[in-house]
Structure formats: C-alpha cells, structure tokens
Amino acid sequence: MELGQEIELLGVHAEGEIGRVITSGAPDIPGDTMVAKMNYINDVDDSLMRVCLYEPRGASQMTINLLTQPCRKGADIGFFPMQADGAHAMSGSNTICVTTALLESGIVEPKGPETLVKLDTPAGLIEATAQWNGKKVERVQIDMPVSFVEHLDHPLEVPGLGVINVDVAFGGCYFALVRAEELGYNIQPDEARDLVELGAKINAAAQEQISVQHPEIPSFNRVEYPMFVAGRGTSIRNATIIFPGRIDRSPCGTGTAARLAVMLERGEISLNDEVSSRSIIDGEFIAKIKDETTCGDRKAIRPTVSGRGWIYGRHTLGVHPTDPFPLGYTLSDCWGAEKPR
C-alpha cells in the first residue's frame, strides 16, 4: 500500500461532537506564536486541513485537531482546531478531545487521579484538568479564556425574520446569541434542519451588521458563530451553527463560556451557580464562573467548562501518487453552496 506521507489520527468525540486528533505525520507549521501558526493555515497553506478534513478522507461534520510544539513557556503542547472554514483559535469540545487523546495514548503521561495539561492555543494558555482512573479520562475541566459581553440586545435585520435582538459575547471566539424560544424553537433534534437554515441567514446578517474587536488580540474581530439559546437559570440548552451548515453536537464550550458572561451581566445567574449546559442531542457540559476579572476596559469572567470525551478509533490517512483528489473536494449537498475559504 503506497500512501506517501502517512498521517496518524485518533478518532475522539466529546459528548457526540467529533474532534479527530493528529498524533503524527503532520508537517511543521511556521510561526513564532500559535496565532501565527493558525493564520498560516488560513492564509498561506491549507493543504493539511484539506487532506484531513475534505472528502474522501474527511467529512463536513467533524473537526481535525493539529498538535504542535508549544510557543509559550510552560505549555505541554500546542494545538488548534481545523474546521470546514479554516483553523480556529479555541474550542471547548476539542480541548476535551485533545486532552483525552493525549493522556489515553501516552503522549502526555498522566500524573495521578487529577492531571493538569497545559495547552498553548491561539486564544491563550489553556489549563485542562483531567480526572484519570488509571485507564480512562473520565472528565476534563477546562479553564476557558477570559470571557465578556460585547453587545446586549444588538438589533439585527434578518431576511424573512425582520429585526431581532441578539447578544454578542466572547468565550474564546465571538458568538451572536439568538433566543430560540422567541422564534418558536426549543432546540430539539427534529428542529435541526430549520435551525441550520435560519442560522445561516442570521450569520450572514451578523457578518455585515455587527462590529466586534477583542481589546487585547487584534485578530479576533468578527462574529464567528450564531448560537441558538434556550432554558433559564442553571439549566440551559445551546445549538451553535457551524459552517458549512450543521449544529454542534456538543453544548459548545466556547459558546457556553460566552453565554455565562451574558447571563451574569443580565443577573440570570450568580457567581456561585453550577450550570448544566446541554446540546440538541442532550450531551452535557457543566459550567461555572471561577471569578470576575477584566479584559482591557471590559468587565469579564473566568469560566470553567467540564465534559467527557471518548476515543472511538484509529485512522491512517495518506494520498496515493495517482489519487485524482490529493487535496480532497467538497460538494454542495453536504458542504453548502458557499465555498470554504
């Protein structure tokens, strides 16, 4: 079997959301920082992403996580997630997948029942604490990036809906939070297609009408995801719409962090509350606010999110010299009409 450069991956999911982890065979990615490495994938050479994520070797409903040498001192390893529209700064579900893969594969040696793994990401140094039973990572708690509210009740004109109000917050990336119940939805499995189609319209409107700028990281300057939200108090539901048109199978860690910032700002929760955050398939993350802080001139929080991950397989990818699709392909039946960047 002739596959050229072989890439080894572990298949992992966090509460149902697939986040495969490249464990060997990836090329070195240029850059002195994780942001630079992420931007290299997005702006210079996305061939690794295409080989691993596009058909026939990949699929639209997954993420590929790239492990790298860390750029920050004190980090165990660097990583960033690659999705259909490019590399991203941070993902809670994928941090759970990566931490589970690192410890259960032995890439990082467990150091007892609670093992701290320090991950260098474009969103900053992320600390993940794994509960280790000697064979399996039972749960991973993540200290999420400092999170804050950018806009409350921002008016958004959406074709077919008219003007709706959305909250905009940062939890590792920027989200437009849409109150699903006000639009007649409860975030249930039979609503998935409707939510995806509506989310695409909302996201297009948000890209045009909402301005954001992280006070400390210049490259974080756009709303990346719309997220439908439901529930109240310490029991909530989320449905993040991910390019090219699917719902996050997990409750979305970064989205949950952003939502905690909004809920605290609105007085819907207190600093001591433990929040159950559930997805459209009822996967659960447990979220808390460690404390309040600032980010630039903004009021902010330090949230934690915890959840479970499972390794489900091993994969070896490669490209035969005669393969007519060395960088893969996309079709609009699964990938939507809009081309990935």
Q: Which residues are catalytic?
A: 91, 252
The structure tokens listed for 237 are: 């539901």
Contact 34, 120 (CB under 8 A): yes
For CA atoms 163, 169, 172, 177, the dihedral sign is negative
Q: 3-state SS string over 144-167?
A: CCCEEEEEEEEEEEECCCEEEEEE
Q: Could you identify the residue written with the tokens 């509210």?
A: 149
- Kindly write down the DSSP assignment for every residue of 254-287, as one continuous string: HHHHHHHHHHHHTTSS-TT--EEEE-TT--EEEE
Q: How far apart are CA 246 and CA 107, in angstroms?
A: 31
Terminal-to-terminal C-alpha distance of the chain: 32
**Using DSSP, how many helices (H) and how many strands (E) does the chain show?**
6, 18
Contact 35, 90 (CB under 8 A): no
- How far is 99 from 92, CA to CA, in rounded Å? 11
58: DSSP letter: -
